[in-house]
Every structure is written in structure tokens, then in C-alpha cells.
Chains A and B, each alone.
Chain A
Amino acid sequence: KNEVEQSPQNLTAQEGEFITINCSYSVGISALHWLQQHPGGGIVSLFMLSSGKKKHGRLIATINIQEKHSSLHITASHPRDSAVYICAASYNNNDMRFGAGTRLTVKP
């Protein structure tokens, strides 16, 4: 069964802190996605990666294929980063499975 596990479920940080959200998956994937869901409900795709590391501004995503693990890092966190972060695994058969999400709150 394709399963995606995320941790932590909830995360509260002070502004400026370095944040890490973890994602693990159970079987081989074609790509790993990180999504951001705003408090209003809209979903934005942050990263899609199948190996190595990607960086966009203060966001960094890494993946370790051998360990079936990915991390999303936020450097110098800001209250506007408060959102739900979702990892999702896509497979060669076009199936897609999602983690339950990590609710991040960054306090000023």
C-alpha cells in the first residue's frame, strides 16, 4: 500500500527560527511534492523533486531516495509562513498519495 507519513502534525515556532518538516513514504516513487495550503484554503505547489535538493528563497526541500524520506526546511521563518504544508508522493502509474499535513504557526 502506498503510504505517506508526515511529522510533526502541528508545529509552533517563533519568528526567525529554522523549521523542518519531515515526510516518509513506503514504496518507490516517481516524484515527491511539497504543497502549501493557505488559511483561506488555496493550495500552492512549492517543490517537485525526485532526487537531491531544491531551493526557492527561504524554502529548501531535500529527498533521500534510499531512505524514502524528504524534508522541507524554512529558514528565518516569518508569520506569513503560517500555513499547512503537505507532502505528496506520485507514482509511475499516475497514482498520488498525500500526507495528512503539518500545520505551522509562526509567532511574531
Chain B
Amino acid sequence: NAGVTQTPKFQVLKTGQSMTLQCAQDMNHEYMSWYRQDPGMGLRLIHYSVGAGITDQGEVPNGYNVSRSTTEDFPLRLLSAAPSQTSVYFCASRRARDYGYTFGSGTRLTVV
């Protein structure tokens, strides 16, 4: 099993550009989530999904959209990138609420 796969690993965007960070898992996990990690701020939850077709907002959802059309994939969309979105983004999944998380390797995004 590949676990949780995030692509790309690195990305540089110009302010105003849009892009999608990809996250895929092959463990048939119901729960998937996106986080951002900033120096001095720790990890913060952006959006999460408890199953295909179901998404909800976390602590810092503004500027990001998500969808969950399949169990395997949970892409994160930046519609109009801003320098404040420069961060390292992690995707994670877990089988259900009573299980631990499996994290992807992260995407380092820089918005200039």
C-alpha cells in the first residue's frame, strides 16, 4: 500500500493564481483532512471529510475549497492564491473516528 500520497511536493505560485493540491489514499479510509503548518503556529485544520460526498470546514477554511467525489481522493483547491497561504500543507486519513491518522509527506507551497 502507498498510504497517503500528496502531489506536488513543492510549488511556487504567483499571487492570484489558482491550483489544486492532490491527496489520495489507498487504505479505504473514510475520514480525510487537510492541515497547514506555519512556523510558530503549529498545525491547523483547514477542511475535512467523513466520507464521499461529505465535507466540512475546520479552523482555517477561508481561501480554500474541497470536494470528496470518491473515497480515495480529497483535493484542496486554492482559487486565488495569496502570500498568506505560503505554508506546508499536509493531508491525512484515518479509517474512522476511533483510529489514528496516516499523514502524507506534505506539500511546501510558496506564494509570491
A-side interface residues toward B, CB under 8 Å?
30-31, 33, 35, 41-45, 47-48, 86, 88, 90, 94-101
The answer to whether B58 and A45 touch across the interface, beta carbons within 8 angstroms, is no
Chain B, residues 65-104, CB within 8 Å of chain A (1/0): the string is 0000000000000000000000010101000011111110
The verdict on A88 contacting B106 (CB below 8 Å), with A48-B99, A95-B59, A96-B33 known, is: no
B-side interface residues toward A, CB under 8 Å?
31, 33, 35, 40-45, 48, 50, 56, 58-59, 88, 90, 92, 97-103, 105-106
Contacts of A41 in B (CB 8 A): 88, 105-106
The residue that A86 contacts in the complex, of B43, B59, B92, B99, with Cβ under 8 A, is B43
Helix, strand, loop or mixed for chain B's interface?
A: strand
The verdict on A100 contacting B40 (CB below 8 Å), with A41-B105, A42-B105 known, is: yes
The verdict on A97 contacting B50 (CB below 8 Å), with A31-B98, A42-B105 known, is: no
The residue that B102 contacts in the complex, of A45, A47, A98, with Cβ under 8 A, is A45
- Nearest-neighbour CB distance to chain A for B74, whole angstroms, equals 14
Closest residue of chain A to B9 (Cβ to Cβ) is A41
Contacts of B101 in A (CB 8 A): 33, 35, 45, 48
- Nearest-neighbour CB distance to chain B for A29, whole angstroms, equals 12
The answer to whether B103 and A95 touch across the interface, beta carbons within 8 angstroms, is no
Closest residue of chain B to A41 (Cβ to Cβ) is B106
Contacts of A30 in B (CB 8 A): 97
- Nearest-neighbour CB distance to chain A for B8, whole angstroms, equals 14
